[in-house]
Amino acid sequence: MSDKKYGFETLSVHAGASPDPATGARAQPIYQTTAYVFDDADHAAALFNLQTVGFIYSRLTNPTNAALETRLATLEGGRGCTVASSGHAAQVLALFPLMSPGDDIVASSRLYGGSLQQMRNTYPKFGWKASIIDADTPDNFKRALTPKTKAFFIESLANPGGVISDLEPIARIAEEAGVPLIVDNTLATPWLCKPIDYGATLVIHSTTKFLSGTGTSMGGAVIDSGKFDWTRGGRFPSLAGPEPAYHGLNFYESFGDMAYTFHSHAVGLRDLGPSQAPFNAWLTMLGIETLGLRMERHCANALKVAQYLEKHPAVAWVNYAGLPTNKYHALHKKYLPKGAGSVFTFGVEGGYEVGVKVVDSVELFSHLANIGDAKSLIIHPASTTHRQLTEEQRVAAGAGPDVIRLSIGIETAEDIIADLEQALAKATS
């Protein structure tokens, strides 16, 4: 595409994809191959030395994956992107160039339960520590800083509670501290929010969710803003120091604002191996073509459902930032002006037992552990996604015993509401 500035929907369809030069095929081909033929010995050597760009082995790079990476970097306003096998794989891949044993990150307490478990129980096996803080008060990040802090981690729109992070002050604190701000933008998608515009260094996605949009394709992505100075303070030697696996090559000196992305492919994917399947990348490319259309309907439906639940006698509270009474409504207007997303929680009168009965009584909704599908989804986090946490940790994460999480789909809004109506009636009868 030319240097002309295109709209979001146009880029969703065209970025990273063009007619295949070999066949003229207009749809992005699926390059279902493990390896690629070299022109000659010199070409092979140049590729392995990172002296030229090309394809060696699909664990590192693949043309289908590269097309998706270009599209995601374009939509997020980033410099480069690396796709991975899942959202959790993307989180490990994102931290891998930054962390050494003994280092720590400061993370919001309002994260997906699986992310909190990853930070509390799995990262320590790598020698990494996570300090979990209340991100509603940005200064808590400053208070939790140590000389070993290598990153801040937040979700722009948090799962499951629909909490919106105040990106700008957190980004300022990260900049002052000389650490990158990592923002999981899965629930918002770049259609609702572009965290790089507010100071984020890295943006993470579980592409499994809204980007794919069909519940068919596992994947994750790390998008680099290209704006962070990895030489600052000598704190990131993997990116701005000699790399022994490449004869002392310094990624930042050699690749500048693409250093992080080159490292993620040449070292991260090579050594950790969480590569995305080309078929999943191809399906996600198709899903992104309709991202703007879907998100518009997702958000419109979610607001109608939240307004209905807010007035229901069996509902104790609704946490949806699109409601004027919500504490995050002002942040929604600032960071997500086109909508407050479609994933939110509400609490039922009667607590845990009633919550379980509601999810057992739905007919149109699917009771499963996913979000971002075109279909409406429901789950009781305390008994599923957040059950590994203590009760205190579940409450802090917005997944208390009375909480039900909804991921509102693109069906007719009246049908979604009718299903909740009958399920609540059964659960409270």
Is the domain of 214 the same as that of 231? yes
The pair of structure tokens assigned to 37 is: 């033929």
Cα–Cα dist 139/133, whole Å: 10
| 146: DSSP letter | -
Tell me phi and psi for residue 233, to 5 degrees: 70, 5
Bridge-based pairing of strands 343-348 and 366-367 is unpaired
Is the domain of 100 the same as that of 152? yes
Question: Is residue 1 in a domain?
Answer: no
Is the domain of 341 the same as that of 264? no
Contact partners, residue 334, CB within 8 Å, separation at least 6: none
Residue 159 banded pLDDT, cuts 50, 70, 90: confident
Mean pLDDT of the 400-428 span: 96
Confidence at residue 351, expressed as pLDDT on a 0 to 100 scale: 87
Among 262-266, 268-272, 350-354, name the one with the lowest average pLDDT.
350-354
Contact partners, residue 326, CB within 8 Å, separation at least 6: 319, 320, 332
Is the domain of 186 the same as that of 131? yes
Tally of domains within the chain: 2
Mean pLDDT of the 250-254 span: 97
Contact 390, 316 (CB under 8 A): no
Q: Which CATH number fits the domain that encloses residue 352?
A: 3.90.1150.10
Please tell me the pTM assigned to this model.
0.95
Residue 167 banded pLDDT, cuts 50, 70, 90: very high
Cα–Cα dist 258/43, whole Å: 22
Contact partners, residue 1, CB within 8 Å, separation at least 6: 14, 15, 18
Question: Is residue 2 in a domain?
Answer: no
Q: Of 244, 269, 287, which closes a domain?
A: 287
Q: Which of 20, 96, 97, 32 is nearest to 58 (CA)?
A: 32
Confidence at residue 317, expressed as pLDDT on a 0 to 100 scale: 96
Residue 287 banded pLDDT, cuts 50, 70, 90: very high
Name 203's bridge partners: 183, 223
Name 404's bridge partners: 346
Task: Give me the percent of the chain exceeding a pLDDT of 70.
Answer: 99
Report how far Cα 113 is from the mean position of its chain's Cα atoms.
Answer: 14
| 268: DSSP letter | I
Mean pLDDT of the 205-226 span: 97
Mean pLDDT across the chain: 95
pLDDT higher than 80, residue 71? yes
Q: Which of 365, 405, 360, 366 is nearest to 382 (CA)?
A: 405
Q: Which CATH number fits the domain that encloses residue 73?
A: 3.40.640.10
Tell me phi and psi for residue 107, to 5 degrees: -130, 150
Model confidence pLDDT, tens digit, residues 100-137 = 999 999 999 988 888 998 999 999 999 999 999 999 99
Q: Where are the alpha helices (DSSP H) in 223-290?
A: 237-240, 251-255, 259-263, 270-272, 278-288
Cα–Cα dist 299/302, whole Å: 5
Dihedral angle over CA of 220, 340, 291, 304, nearest 10: 130
Residue 1 banded pLDDT, cuts 50, 70, 90: low
Is the domain of 330 the same as that of 245? no
Q: In angstroms, what CA-CA distances link 143 with 58, 146, 174, 202?
A: 43, 9, 12, 22
Cα–Cα dist 348/232, whole Å: 49
Is the domain of 280 the same as that of 308? no
Cα–Cα dist 420/312, whole Å: 10
Confidence at residue 2, expressed as pLDDT on a 0 to 100 scale: 56
Q: CA torsion sign, 240 to 207 to 372 to 76?
A: positive
Is the domain of 270 the same as that of 304? no
Is the domain of 153 the same as that of 253? yes
Mean pLDDT of the 139-144 span: 98
Is the domain of 226 the same as that of 99? yes
Model confidence pLDDT, tens digit, residues 372-409 = 999 999 999 888 876 777 888 777 777 788 999 999 99
Confidence at residue 279, expressed as pLDDT on a 0 to 100 scale: 98
Domain that holds residue 372: 293-428
Confidence at residue 112, expressed as pLDDT on a 0 to 100 scale: 87
Question: Is residue 369 in a domain?
Answer: yes
Question: Is residue 273 in a domain?
Answer: yes
pLDDT higher than 90, residue 196? yes
Confidence at residue 162, expressed as pLDDT on a 0 to 100 scale: 82
Is the domain of 232 the same as that of 105? yes
Tell me phi and psi for residue 142, to 5 degrees: -65, -40
Using DSSP, state whether 55 is helix, strand or coil: coil
Q: Of 260, 287, 314, which closes a domain?
A: 287
Cα–Cα dist 399/381, whole Å: 6
Question: Is residue 332 in a domain?
Answer: yes
Question: Is residue 236 in a domain?
Answer: yes
Is the domain of 282 the same as that of 300? no
Confidence at residue 153, expressed as pLDDT on a 0 to 100 scale: 98
Q: Of 287, 304, 332, which closes a domain?
A: 287
Question: Is residue 3 in a domain?
Answer: no
214: exposed, middle or buried (C-beta count within 10 Å: 0-12, 13-18, 19+)?
middle
Is the domain of 232 the same as that of 359? no
Contact 140, 134 (CB under 8 A): yes
Question: Is residue 110 in a domain?
Answer: yes
pLDDT higher than 90, residue 188? yes
Confidence at residue 25, expressed as pLDDT on a 0 to 100 scale: 92
Contact 284, 81 (CB under 8 A): no
Contact 251, 243 (CB under 8 A): yes
Confidence at residue 237, expressed as pLDDT on a 0 to 100 scale: 97
The HSE-up count of residue 146 (CA atoms within 13 Å, CB side) is 10
